[in-house]
Structure 1
Amino acid sequence: MDFLATLFNEYRVLISVLLTTLSLIVMVTIWWDKVSFWWLNVYYSLPLIGKENRLSKDYETPVKVYNKSWLNSEVSLCADFASHYEKVNKDEELFAKSQDYLGKVTENGRNNLHAIGWILIASLVFVEAMGFSYVLSGFTIPGASESMQKQGALGIAFIISVLLVGLTHFTGHELHGNSLIKKAKVWWKNAKNRDRNTPELAPNNRINLDKTFEDDDEPQYKQLINRISTNAEVKPRYLVTIITAVAIIVIAVLATYVRGQVLEKEHIETVMIDTSSSMYQEQDPYAEPVPAILLQDKQETDAKGDEDAWDREKKGGWGTFIFLAFLFVLLQIFGILIGFKTGFSGKHSSDARKEIDPFKSEREFKAHYSRLKQQVARIAQKRLTNLQQKMNQRAETNCQDPKVLHVLEACGDRSFLTYMEELGAAETKFDQSTRRREHQTQIDNKALATSAQPVPAATHAPSEPIATELETATVPETVAKQVVDSKTVAETPAEAEARIREELLAEIAKSKAEKTVETEEQMRERLRKELMQEMS
């Protein structure tokens, strides 16, 4: 602490500037959308160097925007403000999608860890790390001064706290993700016990926040798996958990061991100092010599007292160190629990929570963003109107082209909201076209999978069993010969039908073996002719 106070006193101005700069950077980062929109409005409104004044000079460049005539300057202005309008162009459908996504991934009651929580956890871990980092600095920086050891202790504590805070938080996230995987597997096994035709436990990677309603018809376990990251076997993973557990145990054990060694080192140094001082203690030359038996008793009493005192001190010290190690481990478990209870494992759960977090209802969500949209549209329309007026003034003075003047006179039909409506209509049309193509692709894939039939391999011999479309039974060659020999025997109509069927099966098997591939219609026509001949 003395080092920090000295550093702050010597570099007070520099530290103040750095802290102020960092604070401004953090504030601008947090409220970047508002700051960038404010700066865009200021940049357009500057009198001489503003973008509005520069764009007003280009009033003769027409462009086509979704089959409607615009001026290039107008399109540039609308495009600049359109990005800010899109950020607040959110309706109740997005709120419903976000709620649906969080509900299907069973994370609708979770939140990210607040900044105050991060500061609290980091402070607790840093204070705990300082407890043994000062002891470690004596061995990591041997021979260093007291001031240098304090600086080294700060550095060691910072490194340990950063590593432990990150590891414990990621461990909590990993355990939460594993709990979701286990939940989905339990649901899947229960569904499989009820129905053997249960779909496989594999994720659909096409599901995102915009397509969250596409798997409404799928089982609940499939909806959950579609929204989290899993391995190929859809099993829990414990890599980060194992690393964190090893790190916590190693740090706790080694820190306790080093503390114990430092305690014993200090005791040895104390004994050596006491021994040296007693050896060189001045004797009174006029004092009578103490009897040897009394001197021996005194030495034994002092030795026993010192030993008892050291025994108590050692037990108390090791008890304190063990308690501090237990407190350290308990603090890391607390960090893991915080990571388990906060944060998200869903791929887009964090984005969904950001959309609906400040709002309690869909109506509140809609009212908030409707107000923001009106604010952006009002400012954008004001800038567009000023631009159109400036272009009209310049054109009346410098332009004689009637087409240009006609386009400028019709500026009332070109507003910012009109531009956004045409842009939205084009995006909607593109999305519908994309969805139709994807839907048609899925239909084609299903049709191909349904109509696909197994084709015999080239190495199959004619004597191998071959499956037919009429029956799954196979017809060996010996059975076919017996059927041929039975033609000369008098038959009943039922026996004749069975014989004909067996002959047809034998012929079909033979044709399959000879690699003759027929379509269903061709086979149907051929069988019809053969049956007609046999019946006649």
Structure 2
Amino acid sequence: MTELKDFAEILLLIKDNIKLVIFAFSLVAFFIFFLMNRDYVESRVKAFWYRLPLIGKNARLSKNLEVDDENGHKWFKSEKNVGNAFYPYFNDYNKNADSYVSATQYLNRAHDNSTTPMGFWHWLFIVVAVLIEASSFAYVIAGFTLTDASNALQIQTAVMIGLVISAILLVLTHKTGYQLAENKIFNKVLDERADYQRRTGIETSLTNLKNSSVSWKTKLNHLDDNKEPFIQLLNRLKDTKSIKPKYGLISGCIITIICIAIAATYIRTTVLDGYINQMIESGEYSTHTPSGSATGDDISLSLFDDGTTERQPPQEVIDTNKAAEDKAYSDQIDAFVRGSWATFGFLGFIFIVLQWLSILISYKAYMNGSESLEAYKVAKKFNSLDEFQSYYREKRDYAESIGQAVLNDLQSKIRERARTSHSGNEMNLVNNMQHRTFRMYIDQKDEANYEFERKTRQKQIDKEEQEQAERHRTDMIRNSSSQHTQSNQSSSGQESEPQSDRNENPRSIDDIIKLIEAADISLLSDKEIMDGYREIEARKNKKIEETPQERLARIRAEMEQN
């Protein structure tokens, strides 16, 4: 059979290139190992490069004896270069009990507490599925690629095309799973926002509700402690530009899978038709009587021993025999076709199941929060706080030992070069090198980072409070305008209050501001609200701090004007 022959040739091609196949699998395994142990591999390679004799980076850095006196801590700039290079490996594992609790809280608020990201076995399954799909596609299209080329070249081309199709399907199904998970969480946010609006009567956009300063990495996970659960979820979503379900990738993926399944089945049926025609021409499925026996038209019956008189069998016998032969032949062809179609259906079913599994894995592994993956590595990989602390203590000790080893190598090279230096400041630093350790650099760096983060957090908090106050004022003006309109409509049939009565006791600007700040604006007109907000903005911009005497003078002047 042509298809079996092509498949056998694919297996032979793999056998002939077994070393290349093993190398490809080894490369994939190393890549997966690198992704899972990236910090370890990178730090080892970087330490080797720094300490390499003659051409290593320490050999060049040791020539620079310039002193850095930042924040009162004296270091050679070359020493700080090494510290900066290896500090990130330590800082990634500089976690404590607060980090564990905060990471768990972040995952809970992002609804990722029960989600497991893509791991080694997930990726291994995907790689195997891609290879199975690629061989299947190559098996189907092997006879239709480069028809004028050699058979081996056709198979190689078919394998490459199969790999490309499988890779495209992998990316498409992966993204489709993510979009399904996003749609689920978007619908949850929208439903809970609608329920919140029904309960509180407050209508505002998701943009106004979102606090972009919330972050686990910058230790600002507490900014929305008192907010609604859906707002806490909103503050942690990856993409909040458009909080609405999307179906473009889902539709595209379904159409692509159906088209590929139909195309593969069509190609298989074409091959089947060609094979059936080949069987008919070759007579592979036909009924033959043994050689030398009478068949069909040459069957005769001797009536006499001398054979002088012969008589042909009745035509009914000949027709019956021919009909039986045709039926047996037709039954053989039908059985072969039914078996082929059953095989095609089973292969199509396997193809669709593989795509469904790829989508399902991506759907289950999708993490809603923009920082959930980092938080997961801190919290969910451990069964207890003691296990967490032990793991990170070991990682910190390892990172510190790597950094200290590279720093020691640099300092030994600096000592050798500093012997020719006559600068007292440089020699003093050289003589005190034993006190400048990588641990000391870490402590000084942490202190500087803490101060920087404290100032940054305060700026973010101040900015957020200002933005929320501005949004609150905008909502107040909008609501007051709506209430004023309703008040005018309800009082249209009643006698209006005399203008003279309104002017008898005009409200001072301070009273208006107090009512606005207390959100009690039912007695204020639109003009009073606008005047109050203008005065609030003016005082804020000019940073007015009135004394009691100035306040009395201003109120007296306003009363005189009125």
Picking from 100, 107, 122, the partner of 1:95 is 100
Given residue 329 of structure 1, which amino acid in structure 2 is its aligned partner? I
What's the CA shift for 1:298? 2.6
Question: Within the alignment, does 1:376 sit opposite 2:399 as a pair?
Answer: yes
Q: Which stretch has the larger CA shift, 497-506 or 93-102?
A: 497-506
2:234 matched to which residue of 1? 225
Given residue 379 of structure 2, which amino acid in structure 1 is its aligned partner? I
What's the CA shift for 1:106? 0.9
Picking from 186, 191, 203, the partner of 1:186 is 191
Question: Within the alignment, does 1:501 sit opposite 2:523 as a pair?
Answer: no
Q: TM-score, normalised by structure 2?
A: 0.71
In structure 1, distance between residues paired with 2:147 and 2:213: 58
Q: Secondary structure at the match of 1:300?
A: helix
1:85 matched to which residue of 2? 90
Give aligned-pair identity as a percent. 24
Question: Within the alignment, does 1:418 sit opposite 2:423 as a pair?
Answer: no
Superimposed CA distance per residue, residues 46-76 of structure 1 (whole angstroms, 9 cap, x where no aligned partner): 56666556655555x3321212333334333
In structure 2, distance between residues paired with 1:263 and 1:69: 81
In structure 2, distance between residues paired with 1:393 and 1:209: 45
In structure 1, distance between residues paired with 2:292 and 2:339: 35
2:544 matched to which residue of 1? none
What's the CA shift for 1:220? 0.8
Q: Which stretch has the larger CA shift, 39-48 or 413-422?
A: 39-48
Q: Note if contact 2:285-2:332 (Cα within 8 Å) is conserved in structure 1.
A: no
Q: Structure 1 residues 282 and 258, CA, compared in 2 at 3 Å: closer, same or farther?
A: farther
Picking from 268, 271, 274, the partner of 1:262 is 271
In structure 2, distance between residues paired with 1:236 and 1:278: 64
Task: Report how many aligned residue pairs link the two structures.
Answer: 501
What's the CA shift for 1:229? 4.1
What's the CA shift for 1:151? 3.6
In structure 2, distance between residues paired with 1:233 and 1:56: 53
What's the CA shift for 1:42? 4.3
Q: Secondary structure at the match of 2:382?
A: coil
2:40 matched to which residue of 1? 34
Q: Note if contact 1:137-1:156 (Cα within 8 Å) is conserved in structure 2.
A: no
Given residue 464 of structure 2, which amino acid in structure 1 is its aligned partner? Q
What's the CA shift for 1:219? 1.0
2:381 matched to which residue of 1? 358
Picking from 308, 312, 334, the partner of 1:311 is 334
Q: Secondary structure at the match of 2:366?
A: coil
Question: Within the alignment, does 1:299 sit opposite 2:322 as a pair?
Answer: yes
Q: Structure 1 residues 315 and 250, CA, compared in 2 at 3 Å: closer, same or farther?
A: same
Given residue 336 of structure 2, which amino acid in structure 1 is its aligned partner? E
What's the CA shift for 1:287? 7.4
In structure 1, distance between residues paired with 2:416 and 2:161: 69
Q: Structure 1 residues 529 and 11, CA, compared in 2 at 3 Å: closer, same or farther?
A: closer
Q: Secondary structure at the match of 1:176?
A: helix
Q: Structure 1 residues 6 and 96, CA, compared in 2 at 3 Å: closer, same or farther?
A: same
1:491 matched to which residue of 2? none
Superimposed CA distance per residue, residues 475-499 of structure 1 (whole angstroms, 9 cap, x where no aligned partner): x9xx9xx99xxxxxxxxxxxxx956
2:77 matched to which residue of 1? 72
Q: Secondary structure at the match of 2:222?
A: helix
Q: Note if contact 1:58-1:73 (Cα within 8 Å) is conserved in structure 2.
A: yes
Superimposed CA distance per residue, residues 226-275 of structure 1 (whole angstroms, 9 cap, x where no aligned partner): 22245655221111111111122222233333333433333333334449
1:116 matched to which residue of 2? 121
In structure 2, distance between residues paired with 1:468 and 1:219: 27
Q: Note if contact 2:137-2:159 (Cα within 8 Å) is conserved in structure 1.
A: no
In structure 2, distance between residues paired with 1:307 and 1:405: 101
What's the CA shift for 1:171? 1.7
Matches within 5 A, 1:225-304: 225-230=234-239, 234-274=243-283, 288=300, 290-291=312-313, 293=315, 294-304=317-327
Given residue 300 of structure 1, which amino acid in structure 2 is its aligned partner? A
In structure 1, distance between residues paired with 2:24 and 2:279: 46
Picking from 424, 427, 431, the partner of 2:453 is 431
Q: Structure 1 residues 500 and 473, CA, compared in 2 at 3 Å: closer, same or farther?
A: farther
In structure 2, distance between residues paired with 1:443 and 1:276: 86
What's the CA shift for 1:349? 2.0
Q: Secondary structure at the match of 1:116?
A: helix
Matches within 5 A, 1:92-241: 92-124=97-129, 126-127=131-132, 130-131=135-136, 133-142=138-147, 147-197=152-202, 200-202=205-207, 203-210=210-217, 211-230=220-239, 234-241=243-250
Q: Note if contact 1:227-1:347 (Cα within 8 Å) is conserved in structure 2.
A: yes
Q: Structure 1 residues 296 and 93, CA, compared in 2 at 3 Å: closer, same or farther?
A: same
What's the CA shift for 1:104? 1.1
In structure 2, distance between residues paired with 1:315 and 1:6: 29
Q: Structure 1 residues 229 and 441, CA, compared in 2 at 3 Å: closer, same or farther?
A: closer
What's the CA shift for 1:392? 5.7
1:344 matched to which residue of 2? 367
Q: TM-score, normalised by structure 1?
A: 0.74
What's the CA shift for 1:16? 6.8
Q: RMSD of the TM alignment (CA)?
A: 4.9
What's the CA shift for 1:26? 5.9
2:512 matched to which residue of 1? none
Q: Secondary structure at the match of 2:216?
A: coil
Q: Secondary structure at the match of 2:75?
A: strand
Q: Which stretch has the larger CA shift, 369-378 or 220-229?
A: 369-378
Q: Note if contact 1:122-1:165 (Cα within 8 Å) is conserved in structure 2.
A: no
What's the CA shift for 1:516? 11
In structure 1, distance between residues paired with 2:104 and 2:168: 34
